A and B are shown apart, each in its own frame.
Chain A
Amino acid sequence: MQVIQLQDVTRVYKIGEVETHALRGVTLTVETGEFSALVGPSGSGKTTMLQLMGCLDRPTSGSVYVNDQDVTRLKPNQRADLRKGTIGFVFQFFALIPGLTAYENVELPLLLTGEKSKARRERVHELLEAVGLADRARHRPDQMSGGEQQRVAIARALATRPLLILADEPTANLDTDNGRQVMEIMQRLNAETGTTFVFATHDPRVVSFARRVIELRDGRVTENNQHA
C-alpha cells in the first residue's frame, strides 16, 4: 500500500526576483512499512521533499498523495488535521517544547487529538519505555542530553500512531554513539509497529540502516535503490 505518492512535483521558491528550483519534477512512491533514507548534498531538495510529504508545504506544480488522498489543494486547517493523526516529525534540532517535561512533550500530540487522560498516560509511558527513557519522564529538555532529547522527539512523533514518520537529519547534532542509538530505536520501532520512516541524511553510517535509499541531486531523484 502506498503511503506517499509524489507525481511530477516541482517546488519553486521565489525570493525577490530570484527563483530557486528546490524540486524539479519528482515522481516517487513510498510504501507502507518502508525504512527509507533520503540522501544528497545540501541544497539537493531533501528538506523540501520531506516538507511536501509532511503536508507542511504545497508543491508549485504536480500532486502529492498521502494515504491515497490528494493533499495538494488542501487548506491549511485541513493539512493541520491530516498531520495531526497521520504524520509524525523528528527534526534535526531537538524540537521539544522547552518548558515541558519529556512526559508532557510526548503527551502534546495526544492532547491535540483529544485522547482521554488514562489512554494518554498509558501511551506516553509505553513510548518513553520504548525509547529507553522511562526514568527521564519528569526531566525537562535542558536536563537531558541531545541523544535523549532526540529519543523523546521520536517518542512524540510516534504518539498518535501515525502512518508515517518524517525525520530531517535526525542524527546531525548527535555524536556517533547517540546517533547509532537513535537509528537503532527507529529501526526497531519500524519493525515492531510497521510505521513507515523516511529520513533525510548525508551521513553514510545512517544510510546503512536504510532498506531503501532515495538519492536527490539538484531537485531530481537520481537513484532509487531497494536494499533489502
Chain B
Amino acid sequence: MFRLWKIAYRDLGRNRRRSVLTMAAVALGLALVLVLASLSRGAIEAALKNSIRLDTGHVQVRAASYDAEKVSLAWEDLLDDPQEFAARAQALEGVVAASPVLWASGILETRDQTISVKVVGIDPLSEAYAPFREGLVAGKFLAPDDRSGLLVGQRLAHNLGLAVGGRVSLLANTADGQPDEAVFAIRGLYDTGIPYYDETTVFLPLAKAQAFTRTAGRASAIFILARHKEATETIAEALRAPGLNVLTWRDLNEIMLQASAMSASILNLMNLVVLAVVAIVIANTLLMSVFERTREMGILAALGMKGRQILLMVLLEAGMLGLAGIVLGLLVGGLSVAYFATAGLYVGAEVTSTATSAILAYGDTIYARFSLPDAASSAIAALAITLLASLYPAWLAARMEPIEALRAL
C-alpha cells in the first residue's frame, strides 16, 4: 500500500518550528472559538434562566386588555378573583408555583434622592418568590399581612443609603390614575446576583399592594413557574380562555431571544474571522513550504509520484497539522471552558447593571457553558478550513512540471 501519509508526516518534521507554530495557530484559533462560544452560550442561557426565574416565569396569564408597557392598574385591565385562578393553575400537571402578582410603577424617595422603581405585589408565601427569599442578605422576608414593610434589593438600598429598619417614601400610580404616597419600612434586603433587578424592583405583600393601588383584590397577572420549560405549552394551553391573554416565556422574553440570536450571529461572524486568520496562516505556511520544496516536488515526480499524489501529500500535511492543532485546541479550549465554567469570568456589576441588562439579565460573572455539538462543529469547521486553505498550495505543487521543478535550484 502506498503510504503518502508517511512522507507527509516526515515533511512536517523538517521544519519543526514552522509546523509547531502553524499547529499552535490552529489550536489557539479553535480554543478561542470554543471559549467565546461557551461564554456566550453560558451568558445567554443564564440570562434566560434568570429572566424566567426572577421576572417572567414560564407562563403568565393576564387580562386580554392589559398593557404591560403602561403598567395599567385600571380594573378592566386586571384579573378579577386572581386567587381562585392561581389555585386552578397550581393544580395543573407540571406547575411548581402559580401566584397572583400586581405590578405598579413607583418612585422611591429618601430625603435627598428619588429613584423610579417597579413595584411588585407578591404572595410572600408562594414558591414563585423562592429566589428572592433565598437571596435575602439582611432583615427578613415579607409576611403576607405586613402592612408597612418593603423588600428592596441590596444594591438599591446601597444606592439610596438605606438599611433594614430604615424608612422610605413610596409614590405609586393607582387604579384611578391618581398617584398615592406612603411611608414604608425596609424589612429586608435581597441580592439575586442580577444587578438590574436588584436596583429596580421593590416588593410589597400582595394585599398591601392591592390596597395601596386601590385595585380591590385584583392582580396584573398570574405568575406561573413550571417544572420544565417543555411543560410550558401544555400549561398555557390548559389556561387559555376568552378575555385572557396567556403568554409563555418565549413571548415574554422575545426581545431577549432576538438579542440572543443576534449575538449568536455576531459571534459566528467573529468565529469566522478567527478561522479565516488561521486559514491564512496555514495557506501561507504551506505555500512557503511548497515553494521551498519545488525541486523536491520535481524529484518526487521523477521518482514516479503523480500530480494527484503530490496534491494528496500536501493535503495530508495540512490535515495532520490541522488535526494536531485541533486536538491541542480542544484540550486548551476545553480546559479554559472548564475553568470559566467553575470560576466564571467576572465582568463587573457596572457592565451588567446598564440598560442592556434590561434585555439580557446578566449576573456580574459569566459562567461558560460547554456544548459538545458546538465543540464538534467548531473542530470540524477548523479541519475543513485547514483543508480548504491548503487546496491552493497543494494544487500549485501538483501542477508543477517535473522538468521545470527540477530546474529550480
Neighbour of B304 across the interface among A51, A57, A85, A100, CB < 8 A: A85
Smallest Cβ distance from A4 to chain B, in angstroms? 16
Q: B-facing mask of A109-125, CB < 8 A → 1, else 0?
A: 10111100000000000
Given contacts A54-B302, A99-B13, contact A108 B307 (CB under 8 A): no
- Asked whether any CB of chain A lies closer than 8 Å to the CB of B303, the reply is yes
Interface-lining segment among A61-69, A87-95, A183-191, A205-213: A87-95
Contact check: which of A77, A89, A97, A112 meets B307 at CB < 8 Å?
A77
B304 touches A97 (CB 8 A): no
- Nearest residue (CB) in B for A57 is B403
Bound-complex Cα distance A24 to B144 (A)? 112
CB distance from A99 to the nearest CB of B (A): 3
B241 within 8 A of A: no
Contact residues of B between 5 and 60, Cβ < 8 Å to A: 6-7, 10-11, 13-14
Distance of A59 from chain B, by nearest CB (Å): 13
A111 touching B6 by the CB < 8 A rule? Answer: yes
Contact check, B3 vs A111: say whether CB atoms are below 8 A apart.
Answer: yes
CB-based nearest B residue for A76: B307
B305-A97 in contact (CB<8A): no
| CB within 8 Å of A: which B281-315 residues | 295-296, 299-308
Known contacts: A51-B403, A97-B296. The answer to whether A89 contacts B302 by CB under 8 A is yes
Give the size range of A's interface with the partner: 20 to 34
- Collect the chain A residues with CB atoms within 8 Å of residue B11's CB: 99
Q: Which of B11, B296, B304, B402 has the most CB of A within 10 A?
A: B304
Residues of B within 8 A of A85 (CB): 304
The residue of chain B having its C-beta at the shortest distance from the C-beta of A88 within the complex is B303
Interface residues of A in 69-98 (CB under 8 A from B): 76-77, 80-85, 89, 91, 93, 95, 97-98
Is there a chain A Cβ closer than 8 Å to B182's Cβ? no
Q: Are A80 and B2 in contact (CB under 8 A)?
A: no
Closest Cβ of chain A to B344, distance in Å, is 47
B355 at the interface (CB under 8 A from A): no
Count of CB-CB pairs between chains A and B under 8 Å? 67
Interface residue range, chain B: 20 to 34
Q: Is there a chain B Cβ closer than 8 Å to A104's Cβ? A: yes
Are B3 and A56 within 8 A (Cβ)? no
CB-nearest residue of chain B to A140 = B14
Provide the bound-state CA to CA distance between A97 and B300, in Å. Answer: 9
B10 touches A99 (CB 8 A): yes
Residue of B7, B301, B307 ringed by the most chain A CB atoms within 10 A: B7
* Shortest distance between the CB of A168 and any CB in chain B (Å): 9
**B372: CB under 8 A from chain A?**
no
Question: Taking CB as reference atom, which chain A residue is nearest B1?
Answer: A114
Given contacts A51-B403, A95-B299, whether A80 and B6 have CB atoms under 8 Å apart is no
> Which chain A residues border B96 with CB–CB below 8 Å?
none
- Name the A residues within 8 Å of B13 (CB-CB): 99
Would you call A114 and B2 a contact (CB within 8 A)? Answer: yes
List chain A residues, Cβ under 8 A from B3: 111
B403 touches A80 (CB 8 A): no
Cα separation A1 to B16 with both chains bound (whole Å):
49
Least distance between A22 CB and chain B CB atoms (Å): 11
B406 at the interface (CB under 8 A from A): yes
Complex contact A83–B403 (CB within 8 A): no
Contact A99 B403 (CB under 8 A): no
In the complex, A21 Cα to B3 Cα: how many Å? 40
Residue from A77, A99, A108, A114 within 8 A of B14 (CB atoms): A99
Please give 12 more A-B residue pairs, beta carbons under 8 A apart, in addition to A91-B299, A111-B3: A56-B402, A57-B402, A57-B403, A82-B304, A83-B304, A91-B406, A97-B300, A98-B14, A99-B13, A104-B10, A109-B304, A112-B2
CB<8 Å pairs between A and B, sample of 12 = A54-B302, A77-B306, A77-B307, A77-B308, A80-B306, A81-B304, A91-B406, A95-B299, A100-B10, A108-B7, A109-B303, A112-B303
List A residues at the B interface (Cβ < 8 Å).
Answer: 51, 54, 56-57, 76-77, 80-85, 89, 91, 93, 95, 97-100, 104, 108-109, 111-114, 156
Interface residues of B (CB under 8 A from A): 1-3, 6-7, 10-11, 13-14, 295-296, 299-308, 402-403, 406, 409
